[in-house]
Chains A and B, each alone.
Chain A
């Protein structure tokens, strides 16, 4: 190592020793507060995560309320049947509709008669 380099190295060592020995002021309240705010946010994320781990879409909620997937099968069959009856009613349905709606049906509920005198 030549003389110049040795001197440069010595100067560098002195400089690094000076920096290493310089006291660093402790973190202020502001920095500590920022760090703790980050910690709170991260902790809320990680602690909350397992509770809602399998993310359940809203529709699963009411499907479960109805009775789950088996119910959905029944519901679908009923819906398709209803659609089919509406679009292409079989003769039996026509007869049924005629027999139920095709004639005037009067009902006297609990024998109230024309309680409200709607017929003037």
Chain B
């Protein structure tokens, strides 16, 4: 896919030491320990990224497994020093998540995603917290893929724009533009739901 092409066609940048890359090469060479070490290091990160975008544990776990399968498959072709494994995984995971969000967009109406259930007062806050997160995920689903990815990488993963630019293989200016447009769209979508989501209307 384009990820391989990108990795192979990358510029000669010093990416610094990448223990994950070294482990991936060891994995491709048949080292039985490498898979366990890589899974322990990377799966929690992938799961976290997927959870923040999808707010659905089962879906996030499926994405994690799929992202890791793609990592295992690319291992024999991995060129150490050209890209960081973490950068590559951010990209794969972001793509898998927007694939899922797009499917939701096609099958579920935005309003149907979050219905804070009528519960006891004691769990109301918790429900509202959960509803807020689901609402963000639903709003991300309404965005074009690239905007959703840029916003999520910037504001949910807390990455800096140059790193996002590398992950998305675009310029820093393009990242800024995508993020700004994405945030405006998200704010507009969520504005109508403030009361429902537990924010005071001003």
Let me know if A93 is at the binding interface, CB within 8 A: no
Stretch at the interface among B2-10, B13-21, B168-176, B188-196: B188-196
Taking residues whose C-beta sits less than 8 angstroms from the other chain, chain A's interface range is 20 to 34
User: A36 vs B32: C-alpha distance in the bound complex, in angstroms?
Assistant: 10
Q: Is the CB of A20 within 8 A of B190?
A: no
Q: Is the CB of A38 within 8 A of B27?
A: no
Looking at chain A's contact residues, is the secondary structure mostly helix, strand, loop, or mixed? helix
Q: Is the CB of B72 within 8 A of A43?
A: yes
Stretch at the interface among A1-9, A57-65, A74-82, A96-104: A1-9
How many cross-chain pairs have Cβ atoms below 8 Å apart between A and B? Answer: 107
Interface residues of B (CB under 8 A from A): 27-30, 32, 35-36, 38-40, 43-44, 47-48, 51-52, 55, 57, 61, 64-65, 68-69, 72-73, 75-76, 129, 132-133, 135-136, 151, 155-158, 183-184, 186-188, 190-191, 194, 197, 199, 202
Q: A20-B157, A43-B30 are in contact. Are A15 and B190 (CB under 8 A)?
A: yes
Which of A7, A13, A31, A43 is the one whose CB lies under 8 Å from B35? A43
Residues of B within 8 A of A9 (CB): 183-184, 187
Give the shortest distance, in Å, between A13 (CB) and chain B (any CB).
8
Residues of A within 8 A of B191 (CB): 4, 8, 11
Give the shortest distance, in Å, between A47 (CB) and chain B (any CB).
4
- Closest residue of B by beta carbon distance from A17: B155
Digitize A29-41: 1 where CB-to-B-CB distance is under 8 Å, 0 elsewhere: 0011011101110
User: A4 vs B188: C-alpha distance in the bound complex, in angstroms?
Assistant: 10
Q: Is the CB of B69 within 8 A of A27?
A: no
User: A49 vs B197: C-alpha distance in the bound complex, in angstroms?
Assistant: 54
Known: A31-B61, A42-B73. 10 other contacts (CB 8 A): A8-B187, A11-B191, A11-B194, A15-B197, A20-B157, A24-B48, A25-B57, A31-B43, A43-B28, A47-B30
Which of A13, A19, A32 is the one whose CB lies under 8 Å from B52? A19
Could you jot down 27 A-B contacts, CB within 8 Å?
A: A9-B184, A11-B187, A11-B194, A12-B187, A15-B132, A15-B135, A15-B136, A15-B190, A19-B55, A20-B155, A20-B158, A22-B133, A24-B47, A27-B61, A27-B64, A31-B43, A31-B61, A32-B40, A34-B65, A35-B64, A36-B36, A36-B39, A38-B72, A42-B69, A42-B72, A46-B28, A47-B29
User: A47 vs B68: C-alpha distance in the bound complex, in angstroms?
Assistant: 18
**Top 10 A-B residue pairs of the complex, sorted by shortest distance between their CB atoms:** A42-B72, A39-B35, A8-B187, A47-B30, A16-B155, A24-B48, A8-B191, A12-B187, A24-B51, A46-B76
